[in-house]
Amino acid sequence: MTDVTPASTSDSAPTRPWYASALLAVVGVILLLLAAWAYARWQSPHPFYGTAYQNVPATPLSGTAQDGRAYTFTPGAGGRTTALFFGFTHCANICPLTLSYLNKVRAALPETQRRNFQVLLVSVDPVRDTPARLGEYVSYFGSGTGLRIPEPALGEAARAYGVGYQRVDVKGGDYQMNHTTATYLIDAAGKIRLLWDYTQLPQVERVVADVQYVMEHP
């Protein structure tokens, strides 16, 4: 009589090689990242160069304009889009560069859009920045509006936009102003849509693309 060794009755599944598990994990991560990217693109189809905001109403500002008259900036009034920044006329480099590049952006827009795009400089140095001085300063770089707001209203206006500024004494009894360097883009619906740091403004073509998208999609 021949002995027969019975076959194994174990029902355990074959063990998957480690590299197969690792490959599946990598594929899963890639799919997750693609899904997140697609969702972000769906939420904001335009890849902004600046930092985008979501449904943030811009605060109105009141003071004296460069012509010496009372002026109130009402965000979105007249269907205009506004590039707003806080600075001062004794600024050594950041403010003049900001004004220069913003006017280059405005000049690069088609005429129909250019008429509805404005540059607004709010002075953080109301002691020295008289309306007349603001007018000379802004007009030197092109077009735009200079706005003088006295304290304490200036502090309230700056806080509304998340802007900080501080007087710093220098030799000779003079002083400078340290301040936030961002430029805010406010659309025709009166909302802050994005901001650029001053280091981004030299990329005029990319800034223009942001402006045109916002103007076409208020």
pLDDT in the model for residue 17: 60
> Domain limits of the chain?
17-46, 51-216
pLDDT of residue 21: 53
pLDDT of residue 173: 83
Q: Where are the alpha helices (DSSP H) in the chain?
A: 18-43, 94-108, 111-114, 131-141, 153-160, 204-216
- pLDDT < 70: residue spans in the chain: 1-45
Q: What is the pLDDT of residue 109?
A: 97
What is the homologous superfamily of the domain 51-216 according to CATH?
Answer: Glutaredoxin (3.40.30.10)
Query: What pTM did the predictor assign?
Result: 0.79
- Taking the C-alpha atoms of residue 114 and residue 95, their distance in angstroms, rounded to an integer, is 21
* Helix-helix angle 131-141:94-108, to 10 degrees: 50
- How open is the CA angle 201-205-209, to the nearest 5 degrees? 100
Q: Which two tokens stand for residue 44?
A: 């904001």
CB burial class (10 A; 0-12, 13-18, 19+) of residue 73? buried
